[in-house]
Every structure is written in structure tokens, then in C-alpha cells.
A and B are shown apart, each in its own frame.
Chain A
Amino acid sequence: MLSTGLYEDFPTLKMKINGKRIVYLDSAATTLKPKQVVKKLEEFYYNSYANVHRAVHTLAVRATTEFEETREEFAEFLGASPEEIIFTSGTTMAINLAVVSLLRSGILKEDDLVLVSLLEHHANFVPWLRLSKFHGYRIDFIRPSGRFGTLEMDDLLKHRDKNPKVVAITGLSNVTGQRIPVEELRNVFPNSIILLDGAQLIPHEPVKPKEIGVDFLAFSLHKMLGPTGVGVLYGKREVLEQMEPFLYGGEMIDRVSLEDVTFNELPYKFEAGTPNIADIVASREALRYLKETGFDSVHEKIEQLTQMALKEMMKIGGVEIYGPLDERQHGIVSFNVKGIHPHDVAHILDQEFGIAVRSGHHCAQPLMSILKEQSQIDFPNSTCRASFYIYNTEEDVKILVEGVKKVKEWFSR
């Protein structure tokens, strides 16, 4: 049973779908929001809202203070300094910013090598692939060789002598839930710029970019109880300082003449225009909520639910589960029921059992092709994905397992 506290904090959990209690298993797409975050938005808009960094009046000072305090809190969370925390609209924009700015500043040049893993979400794949067409750098892929898209250490080591300029990789696959050994990246690629897509990892585990030695870390707040439209890009100061801005406009400049401009200091040179002030400020409440719950207990709880789900789902015959199926799998269980399209499975789980799971290719088509190669069923180029977060319970897992069994039964009539 869910503790009353969580029920109170997440009003969505009281919702009924066709008379059934909602079982929300789509947190890898986006999480539910606690009251604290939503309340903060209202409170901030009515009492502290004005544009930031621009005016001297009381409201503007309040807004700027809260905005910069939020940045400081994220800096502390990541073990970084506030100049290294850039607010973006989300992980996608954060990665695009890094790619484009690296190119504009000549850090990433023609004939350089970029290594991208085939586990990536399109957000950390398409920008690298597409811009190579215009800028002539080479691109090579880290191919997972293990069970259903599992990345093994050897898959990384294979590339160590290639001396890539950039390595772009996820910390946790949004399809298989595999947690990548991010601590090893720096050892394997001592001279590369490493960009870690933390969209799935950071909500579960606050890795510190400086401790693991990555140059960039991107993640989104909406996947960790915060509002939509807020992303964080951590960038190592030495790299950010050399980088040309991504967007040009207000706030990011120092002096503008008719000949040229000089740029504002870090991090403002990367934050052109009015930022998403209220959502950023409310993100702080999301971070606080998680810190108060304790990331260790968040991690432990989700680990238990994941392992329980894997164990129970494996018992159902005719269900193919993707990923390593061991302790490396965290928070996500992707599966297919033999002979039934994932859209049908997801639709029936929703309508008959109140279960919200994602079905589709999960913005990871390269990985779908790899799953297809190993699949023992007529692979539909997509999967069902159940994902867990702090408000889920063992009861939710049981309902999912029963639901999948029922769907299978019905279709085999």
C-alpha cells in the first residue's frame, strides 16, 4: 500500500480510469508532479514573478534571487559551480546546444571522430548524425553486443584506440533500462570530450560529473517531478569558456557595437532571451522533494520494483523482455507479448486495468533494429515499456503482471 503521504502529494494517483485506480507506469516519459511543485508555481507567479537579471525593482530582485538560488542548488546537487549550470528547455536543447557550440567554436572540426552509442535516444543521436553531414566530422557507433541491446564493457574498449574527439552516450537506456558503467568512461577515453545524456539516469541517481570526469551532463526536470520545459546542461568550465554561444539575443551579451559583440560571462552567455523563469524556480521544489525522500531510498525502491517486475514477467510464457535482465537493469522493463502488437497491449492495459505504459519505438530506432536482430518473435519495431518511480508500489507491479497475463489469455481465445 502506498503511504498516505505520497497519496496526498500526488493527487493524480487518486484518479480512476474506467473505475480502476490509475497505475502510472510511464515515468520514463515524464513523472507525475507533487503538490509542492504545482503550489510553488502559483505562489511564485503571484508573489515573486518578474523578468530576471534586468531591473532594479523589488519583484525583479525577488525573481532574480530565487532564480539564481535555484541554479546554486543544482550546482550543489551536481558538485559543480553555478557558472557551469546552464538552464535549457530540456535534454534535447541541452544536447543541441553542446553539439552546435562545439562546432561553432572549432573544438569539434572536420575529420574529427565522434563516437555515439546505439543505445541513444534520438535526442543524443540525430544532432550528431545530422550535423556531420554539414561539418564533415566522422561518426562511428558503439554497438551493444550483449543480450537484447545490452552494452558490455568490451563494446566500449573496442574503440579506445580510436582517440575520438567526442563520446556521446546515455547513462541509462530509455528502452532497456540498462545502467551504463559511466564511471569507466573517462578511463576508456582519457582525451575525449564526453557528453553524458542523463535524462534517465539523474532522476534515479545523482552522479557528479566532476567525480566521474565527464565534460557535459544533460537532463530534464520533468522526468524527476519537476515542470516541463526545464533542462540542465552541466558543462565543464574550461570547455564552456572556449565555446561560442548557441542562441544569440538579449542577456547573453556584454557589449554590442555595429561591428561586433562581446559575450556575457558564464553561464549567461548560453542563456539568451527570457528564460523559463517560473518553471525553473519550481524545479527547485522537485529537487528538494527528492532530496528529502533521499536518493538512496528512491534508488533502492525502484531497484526492488524493477527486479520484482523482471522476475514475475519472465514467468509469463510468450513474453519477450529486452535488456540485460540482471542488476544492471533499473527502473524500466521493455517487453513484447508474442503475436500481439504493443499498441494493442498498451491500449487494453489502460482501458481494462487502468495501467499507463508506453508503447512505440521510444525515440530509439537504431536500438529497435538491434532488438529486432535478436528477437525470437515477429518483432513489431516497437515495444511496451513499463517504468517506475517513487510513487509506484509492489501492488502496481502485481497489477501489471496480471494485466499482461489477461491480455495474453484474451488474444489466445
Chain B
Amino acid sequence: MVFKMMYSEAILDYANSKKFRGKLDDATVIEEGKNISCGDEITLYLKVEDGVVKDAKFEGMGCVISQASASLMLERIIGERVEEIFSLIEEAEKMSRGENFDEGKLKNVTLMSDIKNYPARVKCFILAWKTLKEALKKISRP
């Protein structure tokens, strides 16, 4: 059951995808995030110009949920304005808590909407988003 929902072919593909993996040499913001309880770590590289995320990559090791979540997130935010991304983060948080959220906004990320049924794994899903929020706070500070 859980295998069908949280470990679908599509999610496994995102988890194993190399597309957004690695360092970004011309990153303007680098942020590290960590899940204390499991030791999973992620480093986000963002290239932000004129208030838009032009490119992004991540490094890190972790479970399928955390890795797929990071890939989906980067796929969704590249090309978006920073202000818009802040609202995407809010929607992703709502989705993980099982609250109503804007599916139209989150798009590809809704692939993981079943995460709400697995509270113990929400922290895996949210690690990338939490790290992104910290990264963006750095640049939006005057």
C-alpha cells in the first residue's frame, strides 16, 4: 500500500534522478539543512538573479522521500520569482500537514501529496523546503 503511494515508479525516478544533483559553481546562495533525528543532510545551491531563481542544484544523502522531494522542489522553483517561492513553500507545508492547499500552484510537487498520511515521514519531505526557506530568507533580507 505504502509502496504504491510513497514509493511509486515516478517518485523513485525523482529520487534517483541526477538532473538536479551536484554543486552549482555560480551559486549566489548556499544553504545546508539537516534532520537531527536521522542524520540526513542536504546542501542547496541557488543562483538568484533579479529576484528570480535562475538555476539550482542539491547535494546530499537521504531516504527516497527526502531525495524525491528535493528533486521535485528544484524542478518546480527554477524560473520562479523569490516572492512566489515563499508562497510555494507555504503550500508545500500545508500539503504535508494535510490541510487544503493550492494544487495548481504546487503542480509536480503534488505527486507526494500522500505524505500527509505518514506523519513520521513529513520531516523527510520537508527537509528540502525548510532549507530553501532559510536560503531565501538570507537573500530577501535588506
**Chain A residues near B (Cβ < 8 Å):** 18, 341-344, 347-348, 350-352, 359-361, 365, 368, 378, 380-382, 410-411
| Complex interface: chain A residues within 8 A of B12 (CB) | 411
| Complex interface: chain A residues within 8 A of B7 (CB) | 344, 348, 410
Given contacts A18-B1, A352-B3, A410-B3, contact A344 B64 (CB under 8 A): yes
Q: Which of A348, A361, A380 contacts B61 (CB 8 A)?
A: A380
Q: Min CB distance, B22 to chain A, in Å? A: 16
Q: Mark B102-142, 1 if CB is under 8 A from A, else 0.
A: 00000000000000001011001000000000000000000
- A343 touching B65, Cβ below 8 Å: yes
- B39 touching A347, Cβ below 8 Å: no
Q: Which of A18, A350, A360, A378 contacts B38 (CB 8 A)?
A: A360
Chain B 33-78 residues near chain A, CB threshold 8 A: 37-39, 61-65
| Complex interface: chain B residues within 8 A of A341 (CB) | 62-64
- B64 touching A382, Cβ below 8 Å: no
With the chains together, A351 CA to B121 CA distance in Å?
Answer: 12
Chain A interface helix/strand/loop/mixed: helix
With the chains together, A347 CA to B63 CA distance in Å?
Answer: 10
14 pairs, CB–CB < 8 Å, chain A vs chain B:
A343-B38, A343-B62, A343-B63, A344-B65, A347-B6, A347-B120, A348-B2, A350-B2, A351-B3, A359-B38, A360-B39, A365-B39, A380-B62, A382-B38
With the chains together, A213 CA to B7 CA distance in Å?
Answer: 52
| Complex interface: chain A residues within 8 A of B2 (CB) | 347-348, 350-352
With the chains together, A378 CA to B7 CA distance in Å?
Answer: 20
With the chains together, A381 CA to B64 CA distance in Å?
Answer: 15
| Complex interface: chain B residues within 8 A of A350 (CB) | 2
- A343 touching B121, Cβ below 8 Å: yes
| Complex interface: chain A residues within 8 A of B38 (CB) | 343, 359-361, 382
Q: Min CB distance, A320 to chain B, in Å? A: 16
Q: Min CB distance, B15 to chain A, in Å? A: 9
What residue in chain B is nearest A379 (Cβ atoms)? B61
With the chains together, A402 CA to B65 CA distance in Å?
Answer: 23
Q: Min CB distance, B29 to chain A, in Å? A: 25
Q: Min CB distance, A364 to chain B, in Å? A: 11
With the chains together, A359 CA to B124 CA distance in Å?
Answer: 13
Given contacts A360-B39, A382-B38, contact A347 B61 (CB under 8 A): no
Q: Which of B3, B37, B121 contacts A360 (CB 8 A)?
A: B37
Q: Min CB distance, A12 to chain B, in Å? A: 18
With the chains together, A380 CA to B124 CA distance in Å?
Answer: 14
| Complex interface: chain B residues within 8 A of A381 (CB) | 39, 61
With the chains together, A368 CA to B1 CA distance in Å?
Answer: 32
With the chains together, A365 CA to B7 CA distance in Å?
Answer: 28
Besides the contacts A343-B63, A343-B121, what 10 more A-B pairs have beta carbons closer than 8 Å?
A: A343-B38, A343-B65, A344-B65, A347-B120, A351-B2, A351-B3, A359-B38, A360-B39, A380-B39, A410-B7
- A351 touching B39, Cβ below 8 Å: no
- A351 touching B62, Cβ below 8 Å: no
With the chains together, A365 CA to B36 CA distance in Å?
Answer: 11
With the chains together, A382 CA to B40 CA distance in Å?
Answer: 9
With the chains together, A350 CA to B38 CA distance in Å?
Answer: 17
Chain B 79-108 residues near chain A, CB threshold 8 A: none
Given contacts A343-B124, A360-B37, A361-B39, contact A378 B61 (CB under 8 A): yes
| Complex interface: chain A residues within 8 A of B6 (CB) | 347
What residue in chain B is nearest A345 (Cβ atoms)? B63
With the chains together, A258 CA to B2 CA distance in Å?
Answer: 65
With the chains together, A393 CA to B94 CA distance in Å?
Answer: 42
Given contacts A347-B2, A351-B2, contact A368 B39 (CB under 8 A): yes
With the chains together, A381 CA to B1 CA distance in Å?
Answer: 27
With the chains together, A359 CA to B37 CA distance in Å?
Answer: 10
What residue in chain A is nearest B36 (Cβ atoms)? A361
What residue in chain A is nearest B61 (Cβ atoms)? A380
| Complex interface: chain B residues within 8 A of A410 (CB) | 3, 7
With the chains together, A350 CA to B37 CA distance in Å?
Answer: 19
| Complex interface: chain B residues within 8 A of A368 (CB) | 39
Report the 6 A-B pairs with minimum CB-CB distance, sorted nearest first: A351-B2, A341-B63, A343-B63, A381-B39, A344-B63, A344-B64
| Complex interface: chain B residues within 8 A of A344 (CB) | 7, 63-65
| Complex interface: chain B residues within 8 A of A380 (CB) | 39, 61-62
Choose among B7, B61, B120 the residue with the greatest number of A CB atoms under 10 Å from its CB: B7
